[in-house]
Structure 1
Amino acid sequence: MSDYLLFATERYALPILQPLAEALHAQGHVAHAWFADGAAESALPAPVRRLAPGRDGLRAAVALKPRAVFSAANWVPPFIAGAKVQLFHGFNVEKRDDARGHFRVRGLFDLYCTQGPATTAPFRALAEQAGHFAVVETGWPKLDPLFRDDDGSAAQLRARAGGRPVVLFASTFTERLSAAPHLLDAIAAQVAAGERYWLLTLHPKCAPELFQRYRALQGPNAHFVETEQLIAAQRAADVLLADTTSVVSEFVVQRKPVVTFRNRAPKPHMLDFADPAQLPAQLARAFAPDAALQQAIDAYAEQIHPYRDGRSSQRVIAATDDLLAGRLGRLRKRPFTSLLRGLQIRRELGYWGPTG
């Protein structure tokens, strides 16, 4: 039995870590969780052992000396013992340039567990240049329940529709990219019509007034879904309406159609539109996809996440075992910039105690 640490800085990371925690428990290991920043007051259900937020929990995490730290954030405290494993908090949806976004290497991780060929190849190229981290394509733990519905939550959401087609609406919090303010009236009209059933959700960082207005649409034709229910909602829905949120990529992995509003980098697998008045027509196209659209959806899904077995968490654990056993090759020492970043993290966390 080994101890592992789960690390997150945002609430939306919890569904990424939960399947991994369950897989660790099934293999006889103990998963502990220490969360900072926006996730500090969050918790994962038992058997995960929650460490207290703040410095007390951080001291406990250091004292734990875990075998590995699994991070669903852009960073990880480097002074905690164990292999540092990057799980990612989303797909690459091209919100930023590669050097500032998804493919930015910060010198803090020993292993990158990539989601599919689209991210594996760039990270392997970076690993060859840097030499201080390994890359293994495992799939993404967050999507394991997308192909299982172990607790029946997706079926429960689907049952609310009463046999009607189901649309899921999701939006990013980035103001310049968010569809939520622009599509509210158009969605409200669709909900009122009742032809389809709507599942509505927003990124946790969206403005409170948006939450209030979308929650007000709940009734016989719509239900508001909390962040922790998002994967179940994706499994339950037939079509996704979104913007430049990474939920687009998560949903497409199921080989289902997506309608996007002013996507920053529209692709052939998306039905992208710019005028809210076009929403009814775009939804009609999505519910009857032609062969070309379905082919584009299938091809994109294969590139970003070809795994549909619900066992990405097990592959992450196996890759970590291989790293620790030296089967992924010898890594170089981390660059000096990672030491500076480590000092910065200590200052930000207010921790100057011993290293794990």
Structure 2
Amino acid sequence: MASHKYLLYISQNYAYAMLRPLQAEILKRGDEVRWFLEGKEVSSHYLDFTEKSLANIDAVKAWEPDFVLVPGNIVPDFIPGIKVGLFHGFNSGKRGNDAHFKIRQCFDMYCTQGPNTTERFTQLSEQYKTFTIKETGWAMLDPLFIPTNNNPYHINGDERPTILVCSTFSEETSYAKELLPTIKKLSESSDYRWLVQFHPKMPLEIVNAYKAIQNKNLSFVETDNVIPLLQAADLMLCDTSSIMTMFLLQKKIVIAYKNKTRNESFLHVDNADDIEEQVKFALTNPSELLNKVDDYCSQTHPYIDGKSSERIINACEELKVNGIEQLKKKPLNIIRQLKLRKKLKYWKI
């Protein structure tokens, strides 16, 4: 059987960690992989020396990928290959519930994360008839469910509870600046160990402010792979971000500060003065809340076997065999595709 060619199409540095589990599965099958880096917000610095990339659209077209795997919202229609949407996070409600399900007519298949995304995308697939869907789980989380003894954020002999602080960059939903005095005060006590990690687009002034309060109990972490952080922490404090769902899927508790979704599986706090009390409560592992976490996880991402990458590549191979001819032709998307051509400096037919 001839090998398949997979193009990993990314535009943000955090997408490397999202696609590497898929890359491992592809290579394990004897198939070929290339990366394509779109735009100025992604850096080739994060490419491993064993990983191969294509420098421009001419190179992509010459390579002729069978599949284009995209952890984003859009992809050019002028490159070859079956386009597969993989998502760059869960539906956090940050931009409204419909934003996660917005159809931009770029993909032939969406690989959904669990029942609560599959149901809506199935409805949309039946409405538009321009794409198919397959529930696979999210490949990025495969390593989350594989135990490791080499976590860089574990400290041997330090048995204190570890609290991970995260925040989105969006001005409307980020409370990192507001929480700074509280985090600083709490971290001055040696009761807990604090790890702080922000979205790559977080304003530099806020990043620098948190770096300035680092002490023996608090570390600011910059990384393109959050999985080890999620595994190392016992509890998360966050505002509104899809990383909250990633943490929750470990059956651990999330304290949500001024979160507008009012998701019942989060422990909600609206006053910074109440955070310390809620941290203590959360670390008792309240059974009623954990039951709600279980229910939410079963609907959001029930796959804890670390094999979502395998399911995604199986879905790709199945679609290749069945073909996409049965799908309705997509709209031209002229304005969106012109913007992509301008961004990629590509004007050939």
For 2:4 and 2:318, locate their aligned partners in 1 and report how far apart those are by CA, in whole Å.
15
Structure 2 match to 1:83 = 82
Which residue of the other structure, out of 123, 126, 135, is the alignment partner of 2:124? 126
Offset of 1:60 from its aligned partner? 1.1
Structure 1 match to 2:205 = 209
Structure 2 match to 1:5 = 7
Structure 2 match to 1:146 = 144
Structure 2 match to 1:348 = 343
Which amino acid in 2 is paired with 1:8?
Answer: I
Offset of 1:344 from its aligned partner? 3.4
Which residue of the other structure, out of 95, 100, 103, is the alignment partner of 2:101? 103
Q: Deviations over 1:23-74 (max 9, x none)?
A: 111111221111112114453324321223xxxx222112111010000111
Stretch of structure 1 that moved more, 81-90 or 267-276: 267-276
For 1:107 and 1:223, locate their aligned partners in 2 and report how far apart those are by CA, in whole Å.
42
TM-score of the pair, normalised by structure 2: 0.94
| Cα pair distance change 1:224/1:171, threshold 3 Å | same
Which residue of the other structure, out of 17, 20, 33, is the alignment partner of 1:18? 20
For 2:77 and 2:45, locate their aligned partners in 1 and report how far apart those are by CA, in whole Å.
22
Offset of 1:343 from its aligned partner? 3.3
Stretch of structure 1 that moved more, 321-330 or 189-198: 321-330
2:57 maps to 1:50: no
Q: Deviations over 1:135-168 (max 9, x none)?
A: 0011001111111145x443x3122671111111
Which amino acid in 2 is paired with 1:135?
Answer: I
Structure 2 unaligned blocks of 5 or more = none
2:278 maps to 1:290: no
For 2:275 and 2:70, locate their aligned partners in 1 and report how far apart those are by CA, in whole Å.
38
Is the 8 Å Cα contact of residues 13 and 46 (structure 2) preserved in structure 1?
no
Offset of 1:335 from its aligned partner? 2.2
2:309 maps to 1:313: yes
| Cα pair distance change 1:161/1:32, threshold 3 Å | farther
> Secondary structure at the residue paired with 2:322?
coil
Structure 1 match to 2:219 = 223
Structure 1 match to 2:319 = 323
Instruction: Indicate the percent of aligned positions where both proteins have the same amino acid.
Output: 36
| Cα pair distance change 1:221/1:161, threshold 3 Å | farther
| Cα pair distance change 1:317/1:339, threshold 3 Å | farther
2:195 maps to 1:196: no
Describe how 1:28-47 pairs up with structure 2 within 5 A.
28-37=30-39, 38-47=41-50
| Cα pair distance change 1:292/1:50, threshold 3 Å | same
TM-score of the pair, normalised by structure 1: 0.92
Matched residues, number = 346
Is the 8 Å Cα contact of residues 168 and 198 (structure 1) preserved in structure 2?
yes
* Structural RMSD (CA): 1.8
Structure 2 match to 1:163 = 159
Which amino acid in 2 is paired with 1:167?
Answer: I
